[in-house]
Structure 1
Amino acid sequence: MRSLLLGFAAGVGLLQTRAALPGAVQAALLLIALMLAAVVACRMQRASTRVLARIASGAITGFLWAALLATHYLAEELPVAVEGQELTLTGVVANLPYRFERGLRFHFAVEQATGPDGSALTLPSRVALSWYDDPRAQLSPPALHPGERWRLSVKLKRPHGNANPGGFDYEAWLLEQGLRATGSVRGLGPDSGNRRLAAFVFSPTAMVEGCRGWLRERMAAALAGQRYAGVIIALVIGDQRDIGQDDWKVFTRTGIGHLVSISGLHITMVAGLFAALVQALWRRSFYTRAQLPLLLPAQKAAALAGTAAALVYVLLAGFGVPAQRTLYMIAVLAIALWTGRIASVSHVLCTALAVVLLLDPWAVLWPGFWLSFSAVAVILYVSVGRARPVLQDGTASRMQTLCDAARTQYAVTVGLVPLTLLLFGQISLVSPLANAVAIPLVSFAVTPLALAGSVAPAPLSAWLLLAAHWLVAQLALLLEWLSGFALAVWAAPIPAWWMFALGLTGMLWLLAPRGWPARWLGLLLWLPLLLNAPDAPEHGFRVTAFDVGQGNALLVETASHRLLYDTGPAYTPDSDGGSRVILPYLRYRGISRLDAMLVSHSDIDHAGGALSVLDEIDVGWVGSSLEPDHEIINQASRHSRCLAGQNWTWDGVRFEMLHPTPSIYDIPGQKPNGRSCTIRVSAGGVSMLLAGDIEAPQESQLLSGMPQRLPSTVLLAPHHGSGTSSTPDFLDAVAPQIAVFQVGYRNRYRHPKAEVEQRYALRQIRGLRSDRDGAISLDFAQSPSEPGTAAVSVDTFRTRHRRYWHGD
């Protein structure tokens, strides 16, 4: 049975690595293979053959099941023809809306849709919407609640997200949530046409989300103005959106992020508490007229109560993977008790694994899935079948219980090191100490107080919630102190498969039972994993143009130096191109320092992520055309103004600043675009021109002042391909083979302009677009033996890492 379930999980995981779903012929062949494997599994006498056949049967079943669900969800598509059109939707608020600084975000279950001409449309059944504030009119969206029916005027677009190495796959998340379009609500106020049609439309989802909303509002009111209110809310209803980025940074560096949510430990605690309470009352009812044990054994009643409590808590948690895993394990144990069967822990874990993937095949895409099941697997590995000393009455001593808890924490910490490095490229070295304090405090004090305070009557509820918040605040003081250590986190690049395999073997060796020879040798197998260094071009240079949406951000790498050119846009006050794209990529690569950062000019789509980058990693110096009192300059350790004529050489790669000239800084009213730092990077016979947002006047100035420095193999299209840049004379002078357009999907500026793209195409310049290709990697290779030989190789993220859910 276990081999079949593990095979099922492997098959589900295999499908999520595919660029396309299987066709009819492939599905038919897989069904035939499934029948053959089933026959072998049933009739072969050899045990090993039967096990392999069961694994194969499970894998094919899992692959086909995941493909069937994916086909079903992908069948709901937003027609291309209606993208960007103003539509009228009638439907129901389908989740707990989130209020952020600029507006509201919520999911909407579509019941009816009409186009601009009033014709009926068939649209996806669920869409993700944003409803923005209007600061000029001082209007904000009305408060929304789950279950309300609204008629809304919206503009929609097909699922699309930034595609970068080490980044979050937004399109996969949308598919998992059943959201097949995103968009925004148009208009505010009584004249907008947006109307609430019903205060509540009953459905199980609306009931659950309504309860979550009631609890959130109650706790938010009691903890108004408290810094860690978001942590308390997360512990009760699993909504982590109110936790600040600074706090997340501390939780991540200390390795206790798993506790700032409804974890498996919390659910088990609540389920056990309810089970123990029901069992105690059920047994004592024997001395009353009820005599309930005669109707149902107390153990069965307790199992039922514990499972019901776990289900309620998991529903409040938003049904996350760790919560699901715990619920299914509790349910399997309860079923085993009710049916009189003995369930081994490994069977329970494998069953929970299969049920999670049966309901949500995309769970394998997220770190929480792997960390959750791996943690339990490690605990089983170090505990099942290993003897423990007991007292004469058959119980363990308190000291032994404490030692077992410490051993379990040690095993989980050590056991998850290879997987944590594979998923995140870093591990917290202070995690054992932080978790030793945080786990008992959060699990046995903060969480019970928060749960009791969320439902208790006032004013008791406020006292309980404030007590829970005080404990979190005291814990945060310790965590902030621990996270401040320079070696709090060990960072390394995402390892190759063989490094991970060695690390996994080392972990199993290190945690082997006593008596296993030389267990310390397991640490030696970790060395390739821990000492893995970031790769770099041996000769020439490499440029990575990130997919940051509408904005610029490029990383230029030589053999031993790195320069970041622009930092992407600011999306919200808490999210920008630096925190969402650049820093995850640097962690993915194991890069902890930049030699330089150039911020071409002050526009928010170029400078929006600079502060996030400066706050997280060491930057040698910053160059820019910013005003002297700009916040980025104030935060930089060393700053220099961009001036034409500046140049330097790193590892044989030449960097030349072509613009701006000193006189431009003295021109009154000069637009920031006109001061864009323009730099040419060259090695051997290849080069790239990074032109920022310069426009026609600056292009003309470059043509007249230094035409001999313009020819380049690759051109970063000036101003994202706007109609005010890329003049014919400029393109003729640069004569690039490749042009890179960093633009946002369906951006409001319509960059690149059609006429500009045509201008490049007429000159047979290959155009690469971040909205279509994702992150773009350009390797400018230079042969050391033949100095005049050089070439440019192109790799796009959406081509190399394409998955079946990625749009065109």
Structure 2
Amino acid sequence: MEGPSCDPAPRAPFGPAVAAALVLGVLACARLPALPPVPLLLAAACAGLAAWWRWDDWRRLAGALALGAALLGLHASWGLHGQLPPALERGDFEVQGRVVQLPEHEPRRTRFLFRVDRDAGQPEALRGRLLRLAWYDDRDSAASPRLDLVPGSRWRLTARLRAPRSLRNPGWYDGERHALASRLAATGYVRSGEPWQRMHGAAGIDGWRDTIATRIDAALARPSSRFIRALALGDTRRLDDVDWEVLRATGLTHLIAISGFHVGLVAGFFALAVAGLWWLLPGLGRWLPRPQASACGALLGAVGYAAVAGFALPTVRTVLMIAVVVLARLWRRPMGVAGSLALAAIALLLADPLAVLAAGFWLSFAGVAWLAWCLPGVHAQPLLRGFLSAQWVATLGLLPLTAVLFGQASLAGPLANLVAIPWWSLVVVPLALVGTGLEALGAGWGGPAWRLAAWCFDLSWPLFEWLAQGRLALWWLPEPHWLALPLALLGAFWLLLPRGVPGKALAALLLLPLLWPARALPAPGAFELVVMDVGQGTSVLVRTAHHALLYDTGPAQPEGFDAGERVVAPALHALGVRRLDAVVVSHGDADHAGGLDAIRRRFPTGPVFASADAGIDRAAPCLAGSAWQFDGVRFAFLHPDLHFPAMRNESSCVLRIESAQGSALLAGDVGAVVERMLVHGQAASLRSDVVLLAHHGSDKSSDPAFVAAAQARLAIASSGHGNRFGHPHPRVIERWRRAGAATADTSRDGAVRVRIGDATHIERRRSRHPRLWDAVRRADAAR
């Protein structure tokens, strides 16, 4: 009698090992600084596919790895070359198409996605492409044409466009990566002075979602209507920054819009409903067995709910997972959680390898994988114990990914989720969906269910607001070394091993490089400048060994983009700044002072200095001659003096920073007249190693005498890409270069970090952290 074979079982062509290899290949290509040539990618794709399909050993895994890398490269190349060419940027294009998804209406501005038609009458570079546009209007009345921008409506309009480009700063968010994953071809704004035509109104599933959202507002005369819209329709347009701060602090962002978890609940409900129907009518089993019917019902419910959410990516991933299980059930082939997860990942990456650029891809698949591995028998446990176990596994298992993807960890999250997951998911969301279903049957029918859902939501929201107010609710983490993530994942894996495995206390130490990374602070007597990439504006962080000062806070627009909230605060968190010991607002213009309120709200701050005419509340004047020291570094104001008149730009606070190793000069928006005054009165104080170009490099600043007096080794311009002022002016850049200074520009280099100590170290964000889309854009510009 023969014994069992000792040969290793062949790896399934769609098993977990192959899925892992495919994911690693896709991720490896996404981390490249530049894309390989397309012919090489095509060859790798063919070779990888052949090895994957033909071989059963390690060559299958190598083939999946090569195929994943090639697919990502090909999709990225196609997406990047489909963006607006640099030669056409800042041009006006007359386009015709339809509004997709839900427009965001704000006072005097509407932001929306626009799909251009494919016909020959459209600009060749934009046919069938997706644009992200804004329509500005000084009016906010019913007569404003932008308020007629409803989902599914068709328009002919003129837009000024440019290729997607985002700011590049310390922190986790990269708008260019998001644009590539979303296949955006261009961004821009509608030229409201040009002729436009609305061809027809709302249509499609998004039009229906917008209508239902309006009815929810009409039925609920309470603030929580914005959350019912989010939970019922995935419509988060009315949630403000304070709402998102509470959700982030309590770790509830994954629940507030239609999520994969909610899709799974709806699928389970439909499966039970179909099974109940088959039990009541046994004759239906002759046509289709009950298990297969329940599976089809689950898939139908998941697809319908995903449609209500506008087929957002998290819901599509969940639908794909459910479809895999349904197909396995229809084919009567057993498939465990690991096999289903692997097949879903393979299917998603083969269809859209750029999905790895979205944080939701990693969180959804990693969450299910952790639960499947750690809690294989959770269904046999008592309900409360199983729920607590799942919550512990999800919290610890996803902590490393959350920290790397979002730069934060919610210490209040586990407690908040213990309440929110059962209450919102099993009470509030079902009621909101019942109201939506009834409203679809008849106008006004959904009101009672929505009001009950809002009442139930209001019972829980004060608890989460209270939790969010705790000082330790949200833990912002500095940007870690790339090795911190694999070490933290290993630590989490070790900690989640069964009881009795030794060394768990030591495993916790593997989390330290991620949760307490080195902040690389300057030594005593040295200092560091971080000139942030805030667009057409200014914000500079100055750090010494134990103190931090912020010079200007970036631009902000009323009811629009706030660099203090969206750029400066996240960058400060990523740099490990906990408090600001002083803030200097050079003058009152919005591109320098706009983000101050957000900074004050997000950080404890010391004294605020500003020019006398800046209109900054609770600010001390930055008078020439005022000085102080932080950690052996001297800070002194050179301008304006007590008798200088209020002249906006010319009244800017000029700050000099000096240590034994070097000095820096931050000159606000002063012009050539003030620069010559400084040269005449205190030329010796102007000599600096690093100079922030006055007025963003305007030709009306950087007077030749001032440039000569500064004797700078590095001149930095803080400007916005493609700004309408032409900053920094080429003559100004050439003037500084002739004087012996190297130059940097945030619009080209991203954030510029300068360490002034025993040696001067300069780091440009875009070159220090290259991305493959940067290389493609540079190549297109060169052509």
Taking structure 2 as the reference length, what is the TM-score of the superposition? 0.91
Matched, 1:431 2:413: yes
Asked whether the 8 Å contact 1:92–1:147 carries over to 2, the reply is yes
Partner in structure 2 of residue 771 of structure 1: 747
Shifted more, 730-739 versus 304-313: the winner is 730-739
Asked whether the 8 Å contact 1:76–1:180 carries over to 2, the reply is yes
Residue segments in structure 2 that go unaligned for 5+ positions in a row: 1-14, 779-783
Which residue, out of 287, 301, 311, partners 1:309?
A: 301
Q: Give me the identity figure in percent.
A: 38
Matched, 1:223 2:220: yes
Matched, 1:454 2:457: no
Partner in structure 1 of residue 3 of structure 2: none
Matched, 1:67 2:73: yes
The SS at the match of 1:141 is helix
Which residue, out of 706, 709, 724, partners 1:748?
A: 724
d(CA) in 2 for partners of 1:528 and 1:83? 43
Deviation at 1:764, TM superposition (A): 4.5
Asked whether the 8 Å contact 1:262–1:323 carries over to 2, the reply is yes
Shifted more, 443-452 versus 138-147: the winner is 138-147
Deviation at 1:127, TM superposition (A): 1.4
Partner in structure 1 of residue 107 of structure 2: 101
Asked whether the 8 Å contact 2:535–2:747 carries over to 1, the reply is yes
d(CA) in 2 for partners of 1:172 and 1:572? 27
Which residue, out of 438, 441, 444, partners 2:423?
A: 441
Shifted more, 308-317 versus 603-612: the winner is 308-317
The 5 Å alignment of 1:597-746 reads 597-627=583-613, 630-631=616-617, 633=618, 639-664=619-644, 667=645, 670-746=646-722
Query: What root-mean-square deviation, in Å, do the aligned CA atoms of Structure 1 and Structure 2 show?
Result: 2.5
The 5 Å alignment of 1:508-587 reads 508-517=493-502, 519-538=504-523, 540-573=526-559, 575-587=561-573
Which residue, out of 246, 249, 257, partners 2:245?
A: 249
Deviation at 1:612, TM superposition (A): 0.7
The SS at the match of 1:544 is strand
Give the partner amino acid of 1:795.
E
- Report the CA distance shift for 1:626/1:341 in structure 2 as closer, same or farther (over 3 A): farther
Asked whether the 8 Å contact 1:167–1:580 carries over to 2, the reply is no
Partner in structure 2 of residue 130 of structure 1: 134
The SS at the match of 2:161 is strand
Any idea what the Cα deviations from partners look like across 1:398-457, whole Å, max 9, x if unmatched?
xx1221111111221122223222233332222121111111111011101111112324
Shifted more, 521-530 versus 467-476: the winner is 521-530
Matched, 1:322 2:314: yes
Matched, 1:420 2:416: no
d(CA) in 1 for partners of 2:551 and 2:126? 41
Partner in structure 1 of residue 44 of structure 2: 30
Deviation at 1:571, TM superposition (A): 4.0
Asked whether the 8 Å contact 2:110–2:147 carries over to 1, the reply is no
The 5 Å alignment of 1:242-281 reads 242-281=238-277
d(CA) in 1 for partners of 2:38 and 2:349? 23
d(CA) in 2 for partners of 1:168 and 1:448? 33
Give the partner amino acid of 2:454.
H
Which residue, out of 761, 770, 774, partners 1:802?
A: 770
Asked whether the 8 Å contact 1:601–1:625 carries over to 2, the reply is yes
- Report the CA distance shift for 1:31/1:302 in structure 2 as closer, same or farther (over 3 A): closer
Asked whether the 8 Å contact 1:162–1:774 carries over to 2, the reply is yes
- Report the CA distance shift for 1:220/1:15 in structure 2 as closer, same or farther (over 3 A): farther
- Report the CA distance shift for 1:468/1:627 in structure 2 as closer, same or farther (over 3 A): farther
Which residue, out of 210, 213, 216, partners 2:210?
A: 213
Shifted more, 76-85 versus 171-180: the winner is 76-85
- Report the CA distance shift for 1:522/1:80 in structure 2 as closer, same or farther (over 3 A): closer
Asked whether the 8 Å contact 1:9–1:59 carries over to 2, the reply is yes
- Report the CA distance shift for 1:404/1:72 in structure 2 as closer, same or farther (over 3 A): same
Which residue, out of 231, 234, 238, partners 1:238?
A: 234
The SS at the match of 2:258 is coil
Deviation at 1:284, TM superposition (A): 1.9
Deviation at 1:31, TM superposition (A): 5.3
d(CA) in 2 for partners of 1:80 and 1:113? 23
The SS at the match of 1:122 is helix
Give the partner amino acid of 2:664.
M
Partner in structure 2 of residue 360 of structure 1: 352
Partner in structure 1 of residue 32 of structure 2: 18
d(CA) in 1 for partners of 2:484 and 2:192? 54
Partner in structure 2 of residue 336 of structure 1: 328
Shifted more, 691-700 versus 749-758: the winner is 749-758
Give the partner amino acid of 1:640.
A
The 5 Å alignment of 1:66-215 reads 66-111=72-117, 121-123=124-126, 125-135=129-139, 139=144, 141-187=146-192, 192-199=194-201, 207-215=204-212
Deviation at 1:96, TM superposition (A): 2.3
Give the partner amino acid of 1:462.
G
Any idea what the Cα deviations from partners look like across 1:65-88, whole Å, max 9, x if unmatched?
111112222232424343223321
- Report the CA distance shift for 1:24/1:265 in structure 2 as closer, same or farther (over 3 A): closer
d(CA) in 2 for partners of 1:80 and 1:450? 46
d(CA) in 2 for partners of 1:764 and 1:503? 46
Asked whether the 8 Å contact 2:588–2:614 carries over to 1, the reply is no
d(CA) in 2 for partners of 1:147 and 1:121? 23
d(CA) in 2 for partners of 1:624 and 1:410? 48
Give the partner amino acid of 2:425.
S
Partner in structure 2 of residue 480 of structure 1: 465
Deviation at 1:776, TM superposition (A): 0.9
d(CA) in 2 for partners of 1:569 and 1:612? 11
- Report the CA distance shift for 1:93/1:458 in structure 2 as closer, same or farther (over 3 A): closer
Partner in structure 1 of residue 574 of structure 2: 588
Asked whether the 8 Å contact 1:421–1:495 carries over to 2, the reply is no
Give the partner amino acid of 1:216.
A
Asked whether the 8 Å contact 1:89–1:113 carries over to 2, the reply is no
d(CA) in 2 for partners of 1:372 and 1:387? 19
How many pairs are equivalent?
A: 756
d(CA) in 2 for partners of 1:387 and 1:215? 38
- Report the CA distance shift for 1:721/1:460 in structure 2 as closer, same or farther (over 3 A): same
Asked whether the 8 Å contact 1:7–1:54 carries over to 2, the reply is no
